Amino acid sequence: MVQSGVELATSLRAKGLFICLDAVSDPGILKGLHVDHTNVILVVRNKEGMKIAEELGYKNVLVPPVLLNRMGQIKTSVILAFSQRMLDTGDRIVFLVGPAQGHLDTLVAMRVGDEWEMFRTANQPRLTEHIKRVVFQQVLTIALELAAEGHEGKPVGALFVVGDYRNCASHCEQLILNPFKGYSEQHRNILDDNMRDTVKNFAMLDGAFIIKGNGVLASAGTHIKAIKPQVSLPAGLGARHAAAAGITSACKCIAVTISESTGTVRIWRQGQIITEIERPTPHLEHGLLKELD
């Protein structure tokens, strides 16, 4: 599979050959890969994976430690590679994926922007021009964890609005007393791992999280005033998604939504869905969560 990926990436002159490290039983087989005009990029889930990538001499994309199906792995990796400016619209990529703690079994080649059912990034500005990349990655991680785990076993819907705080604030009003008001910015930054559980608990509140581009949590339980989206919403999406479309139409921000009914995580920019990541269907086997494709 690895050799086939190398050959395909070479023939396509791909911008990147992405390999999911979790699905490689022996990282040693990746040593010394050479692909003309192509970056070898390992998709990793933790610091140990980052260290392995560094030792092998390859770039890496750190994705949330959440079990996703194969297409979910691809979408998450590509959107994070976009945020780190490893990729741009029109780039060809080759992806080697497989189930977590499994083995590589799927080879995918595509041109980013052509796969409209997967990526809607064409004609979009750079993903995080006003937002720290680590902030976007943290928000996406928390959203994917909430989608997969819920809150105390119950499904959760949520909306995160990130960046362009001053403009966003003019379109917002509080539904409840702001739980973050009065705390120093240092103690309410989403990059602080101590805030993760706090954010997950407040996700049960009606309304949105408003987050500054540097990660400071400005408010929770926030109502976004009605803003007519620039484009029609896909059928079946409700008020939370309309709010995400509206606020990203009016402001230079990114919105991340979690659908309470399906667990699908959607990323919004300029009033449009950039990508959708579906919640995998897990089951318990030998004490481990394993995905069903």
CB-CB neighbours of 23 under 10 Å: 21
**59: containing domain:** 2-111
Q: Do 153 and 271 share a structural domain?
A: yes
288 found inside a domain: no
| Structure token pair of residue 276 | 């959708």
For residues 154 and 85, membership in a common domain is answered with: no
Strand order in the sheet with 16-20: 59-62, 39-44, 16-20, 92-97, 106-111
DSSP string, 121-180: -TTPPPTTTTS-HHHHHHHHHHHHHHHHHTBTTB---EEEEES-HHHHHTTEEESS--TT
With beta carbons less than 8 A apart as the criterion, state whether 45 and 66 touch.
no
Cα 236 from chain centroid (whole Å)? 22
Residue 102's CB is within 10 A of a number of other CB atoms, namely 15
What does DSSP say about strands 92-97 and 16-20: parallel, antiparallel, or unpaired? parallel
Shared-domain flag, residues 183 and 67: no
- Residue 267: which of 13, 76, 68, 34 has the closest Cα? 76
**Side-chain half-sphere CA neighbours of 180 within 13 A:** 26
Q: Return the CATH number at 235.
A: 3.40.1700.10
Amino acid at 268: W
127, 184, 214, 264 from 252: Cα distances, Å: 10, 25, 14, 23
Per-residue pLDDT of the chain (293 residues; tens, 9 = 90+): 999 999 999 999 999 999 999 899 888 899 988 887 789 999 999 899 999 999 999 999 999 888 888 888 898 998 888 888 888 878 899 999 987 666 899 999 988 766 655 555 545 555 556 788 889 989 999 999 999 888 777 888 999 999 999 999 999 999 899 999 999 998 999 999 889 889 999 998 889 999 999 999 999 999 998 787 777 777 778 889 999 999 999 999 999 999 998 899 999 988 888 889 988 655 433 333 444 34
Element (H, E) at 286: none
Residue 150 has a pLDDT of 83
Name the pairing type of β-strands 272-277 and 59-62.
unpaired
Domain boundary among 111, 146, 179: 111
Q: What are phi and psi of 126, to 5 degrees?
A: -55, 140
Q: If you write DSSP's letter for every residue of 205-245 in order, what string do you get?
A: SSSEEEE-TTSBEEEEEEEEPP---SSPPPTT--HHHHHHH
87 strand-pairing partners:
none
In a domain, 116, yes or no: no
- How high is the pLDDT of residue 290? 40
290 occurs within a structural domain? no
What is the spatial distance between Cα 261 and Cα 259, in angstroms, rounded to a whole number? 5
At residue 235, the pLDDT reads 76
Same domain, 96 and 154: no
Amino acid letter, 262: T
Q: Enter the pTM of the model.
A: 0.82
Residue 87 pLDDT: 85
- Given a contact cutoff of 8 angstroms between Cβ atoms, the answer to whether 5 and 12 are in contact is no
Residue ending a domain, among 111, 145, 176, is 111
Q: How many domains in the chain?
A: 2
Q: What is the domain-level CATH number for residue 38?
A: 3.40.1380.20
Give dist(CA 197, CA 191) in Å, integer.
12
Q: Are both 40 and 144 inside the same structural domain?
A: no
Residues 42 and 101 both lie in one domain = yes
CA-closest candidate to residue 37, choices 11, 18, 59, 68: 11
Query: Which one-letter amino acid corresponds to residue 289?
Result: L
